[in-house]
Amino acid sequence: MSRTVEFFYDIVSTYSYLASTQLEAITERTGAAFVWRPFLLGGVFKATGNRPPASLPARGPYLLKDIQRWCKLYGVTFNLPADFPANTLTAMRALTALEGDERVAASRRLYRAYFVEGRDISDAAVVADLVGEGPLAMAADPAVKAALRATTEEAVSRGAFGAPSFFLDGEMYFGNDRMHFLEAALTVR
Protein backbone atom coordinates (compact mmCIF):
# COMPACT_ATOMS: atom_id res chain seq x y z
CA MET A 1 0.00 0.00 0.00
CA SER A 2 1.30 3.43 -0.99
CA ARG A 3 1.94 5.95 1.75
CA THR A 4 0.94 9.55 1.21
CA VAL A 5 3.20 12.54 1.82
CA GLU A 6 1.86 16.09 1.76
CA PHE A 7 4.26 18.53 0.11
CA PHE A 8 3.60 22.15 1.12
CA TYR A 9 5.43 24.58 -1.18
CA ASP A 10 5.54 28.00 -2.78
CA ILE A 11 7.04 28.54 -6.23
CA VAL A 12 9.23 31.35 -4.85
CA SER A 13 11.05 28.92 -2.54
CA THR A 14 14.43 27.86 -3.89
CA TYR A 15 14.58 24.87 -1.56
CA SER A 16 11.07 23.78 -2.58
CA TYR A 17 12.24 23.90 -6.19
CA LEU A 18 15.18 21.66 -5.32
CA ALA A 19 12.97 19.28 -3.34
CA SER A 20 10.44 19.08 -6.18
CA THR A 21 13.15 17.72 -8.49
CA GLN A 22 13.60 14.71 -6.20
CA LEU A 23 10.02 13.61 -5.57
CA GLU A 24 9.72 11.27 -8.54
CA ALA A 25 12.88 9.41 -7.54
CA ILE A 26 11.64 9.06 -3.96
CA THR A 27 8.34 7.72 -5.29
CA GLU A 28 10.22 5.18 -7.42
CA ARG A 29 12.32 4.02 -4.45
CA THR A 30 9.56 3.96 -1.84
CA GLY A 31 6.23 3.81 -3.63
CA ALA A 32 5.12 6.97 -1.81
CA ALA A 33 2.47 9.23 -3.29
CA PHE A 34 3.11 12.96 -2.97
CA VAL A 35 0.19 15.37 -2.71
CA TRP A 36 1.29 18.83 -3.80
CA ARG A 37 -0.25 21.51 -1.53
CA PRO A 38 0.42 25.10 -2.60
CA PHE A 39 0.59 27.66 0.18
CA LEU A 40 1.85 31.21 0.64
CA LEU A 41 5.33 31.23 2.11
CA GLY A 42 4.99 34.91 2.98
CA GLY A 43 1.86 34.07 4.98
CA VAL A 44 3.72 31.32 6.80
CA PHE A 45 6.59 33.69 7.61
CA LYS A 46 4.17 36.34 8.86
CA ALA A 47 2.26 33.88 11.05
CA THR A 48 5.39 32.33 12.55
CA GLY A 49 7.72 35.33 12.77
CA ASN A 50 10.18 33.57 10.44
CA ARG A 51 12.14 35.41 7.75
CA PRO A 52 13.37 34.47 4.28
CA PRO A 53 16.94 33.08 4.43
CA ALA A 54 18.13 35.58 1.81
CA SER A 55 17.08 38.48 4.07
CA LEU A 56 19.40 37.41 6.89
CA PRO A 57 22.73 39.25 6.70
CA ALA A 58 24.82 36.23 7.69
CA ARG A 59 22.91 33.74 5.55
CA GLY A 60 22.00 35.73 2.44
CA PRO A 61 25.45 35.65 0.81
CA TYR A 62 25.78 31.92 1.55
CA LEU A 63 22.38 31.02 0.08
CA LEU A 64 23.43 31.03 -3.59
CA LYS A 65 26.50 28.92 -2.87
CA ASP A 66 24.37 26.42 -0.95
CA ILE A 67 21.83 26.21 -3.77
CA GLN A 68 24.58 25.69 -6.34
CA ARG A 69 25.95 22.79 -4.29
CA TRP A 70 22.51 21.18 -4.11
CA CYS A 71 22.02 21.64 -7.87
CA LYS A 72 25.34 19.95 -8.56
CA LEU A 73 24.43 17.06 -6.25
CA TYR A 74 20.99 16.66 -7.85
CA GLY A 75 22.14 17.34 -11.41
CA VAL A 76 19.62 20.13 -11.94
CA THR A 77 19.85 23.59 -13.45
CA PHE A 78 19.36 26.75 -11.42
CA ASN A 79 19.63 30.41 -12.34
CA LEU A 80 18.85 33.04 -9.73
CA PRO A 81 15.97 35.06 -11.21
CA ALA A 82 16.52 38.78 -11.62
CA ASP A 83 13.29 39.45 -9.72
CA PHE A 84 14.02 37.15 -6.78
CA PRO A 85 11.96 36.94 -4.66
CA ALA A 86 8.95 37.29 -6.92
CA ASN A 87 5.39 37.89 -5.79
CA THR A 88 3.76 34.49 -6.35
CA LEU A 89 0.25 35.27 -5.08
CA THR A 90 -1.43 34.92 -8.49
CA ALA A 91 0.59 31.83 -9.41
CA MET A 92 -0.19 30.12 -6.10
CA ARG A 93 -3.88 30.91 -6.44
CA ALA A 94 -3.86 29.49 -9.99
CA LEU A 95 -2.18 26.32 -8.69
CA THR A 96 -4.79 26.08 -5.94
CA ALA A 97 -7.45 26.05 -8.65
CA LEU A 98 -5.86 22.92 -10.13
CA GLU A 99 -5.77 19.41 -8.71
CA GLY A 100 -3.72 16.23 -8.93
CA ASP A 101 -1.48 15.70 -11.95
CA GLU A 102 -2.53 19.02 -13.50
CA ARG A 103 -1.32 20.86 -10.39
CA VAL A 104 1.96 18.94 -10.36
CA ALA A 105 2.64 19.58 -14.06
CA ALA A 106 1.78 23.28 -13.76
CA SER A 107 3.96 23.61 -10.65
CA ARG A 108 6.89 22.02 -12.48
CA ARG A 109 6.41 24.40 -15.42
CA LEU A 110 6.37 27.39 -13.05
CA TYR A 111 9.51 26.18 -11.25
CA ARG A 112 11.33 25.72 -14.56
CA ALA A 113 10.17 29.07 -15.89
CA TYR A 114 11.33 30.87 -12.76
CA PHE A 115 14.50 29.09 -11.63
CA VAL A 116 15.84 27.92 -14.99
CA GLU A 117 14.50 30.34 -17.61
CA GLY A 118 14.26 33.46 -15.41
CA ARG A 119 10.71 34.31 -16.46
CA ASP A 120 8.67 36.78 -14.41
CA ILE A 121 6.14 34.54 -12.66
CA SER A 122 4.51 37.57 -11.01
CA ASP A 123 3.25 38.54 -14.48
CA ALA A 124 -0.30 37.25 -15.06
CA ALA A 125 0.43 36.69 -18.77
CA VAL A 126 3.36 34.42 -17.88
CA VAL A 127 1.21 32.53 -15.37
CA ALA A 128 -1.52 32.10 -18.01
CA ASP A 129 1.05 30.79 -20.48
CA LEU A 130 2.29 28.23 -17.97
CA VAL A 131 -0.89 27.09 -16.21
CA GLY A 132 -3.64 28.13 -18.63
CA GLU A 133 -6.21 30.89 -18.90
CA GLY A 134 -8.81 28.92 -16.91
CA PRO A 135 -6.78 28.51 -13.73
CA LEU A 136 -5.59 32.12 -14.02
CA ALA A 137 -9.21 33.30 -14.20
CA MET A 138 -10.09 31.09 -11.23
CA ALA A 139 -7.29 32.74 -9.22
CA ALA A 140 -9.64 35.70 -8.72
CA ASP A 141 -12.46 33.50 -7.39
CA PRO A 142 -13.15 34.16 -3.68
CA ALA A 143 -13.39 30.39 -3.05
CA VAL A 144 -9.91 29.82 -4.52
CA LYS A 145 -8.48 32.71 -2.51
CA ALA A 146 -10.05 31.27 0.65
CA ALA A 147 -8.73 27.78 -0.15
CA LEU A 148 -5.14 29.05 -0.49
CA ARG A 149 -5.48 31.02 2.73
CA ALA A 150 -6.89 27.93 4.48
CA THR A 151 -4.04 25.71 3.25
CA THR A 152 -1.50 28.26 4.48
CA GLU A 153 -3.20 28.45 7.89
CA GLU A 154 -3.44 24.66 8.06
CA ALA A 155 0.28 24.26 7.40
CA VAL A 156 1.09 26.77 10.16
CA SER A 157 -1.31 25.07 12.58
CA ARG A 158 0.48 21.78 11.91
CA GLY A 159 3.89 23.30 12.69
CA ALA A 160 5.16 24.59 9.34
CA PHE A 161 7.45 27.61 9.51
CA GLY A 162 8.91 27.56 6.01
CA ALA A 163 9.13 25.63 2.75
CA PRO A 164 9.31 22.93 1.78
CA SER A 165 7.34 21.28 4.55
CA PHE A 166 6.41 17.63 4.25
CA PHE A 167 3.93 15.72 6.39
CA LEU A 168 3.89 11.94 6.72
CA ASP A 169 1.61 10.25 9.25
CA GLY A 170 1.21 13.54 11.12
CA GLU A 171 4.98 14.08 11.40
CA MET A 172 6.58 17.14 9.79
CA TYR A 173 9.83 16.97 7.85
CA PHE A 174 11.15 20.42 7.02
CA GLY A 175 13.52 21.36 4.25
CA ASN A 176 15.18 19.99 1.17
CA ASP A 177 18.16 19.03 3.34
CA ARG A 178 16.08 16.67 5.50
CA MET A 179 14.43 14.68 2.77
CA HIS A 180 16.65 11.72 3.63
CA PHE A 181 14.82 11.55 6.98
CA LEU A 182 11.50 11.57 5.12
CA GLU A 183 12.66 8.83 2.78
CA ALA A 184 13.91 6.74 5.71
CA ALA A 185 10.51 7.09 7.38
CA LEU A 186 8.84 5.94 4.17
CA THR A 187 10.82 2.70 4.21
CA VAL A 188 9.69 1.83 7.75
CA ARG A 189 6.24 0.35 8.18
- Per residue in 6-50, pLDDT (tens digit) is 999 999 999 999 999 999 999 999 999 999 999 999 999 999 989
Are 40 and 89 in contact, with CB atoms under 8 Å apart? Answer: yes
Give burial (CB, 10 Å; 0-12/13-18/19+) of 119: buried
Within 13 Å and on the Cβ side, how many CA atoms surround 74?
Answer: 23
pLDDT on residue 1: 63
CA 141 to chain centre: 22
Domain 4-186 of CATH type 3.40.30.10: yes
The Cβ-side half-sphere exposure at 19, using a 13 Å CA radius, reads 28
Is residue 56 scored above 90 in pLDDT?
Answer: no
CB-CB neighbours of 160 under 10 Å: 23
Q: What is the pTM of this model?
A: 0.95
Give me the residues paired with residue 35 across strands.
Answer: 6
Confidence class for position 189, pLDDT limits 50, 70, 90:
low
Q: Where are the alpha helices (DSSP H) in 58-189?
A: 60-74, 89-97, 100-115, 124-131, 133-138, 142-157, 179-186
Write down the mean pLDDT value for the chain: 95
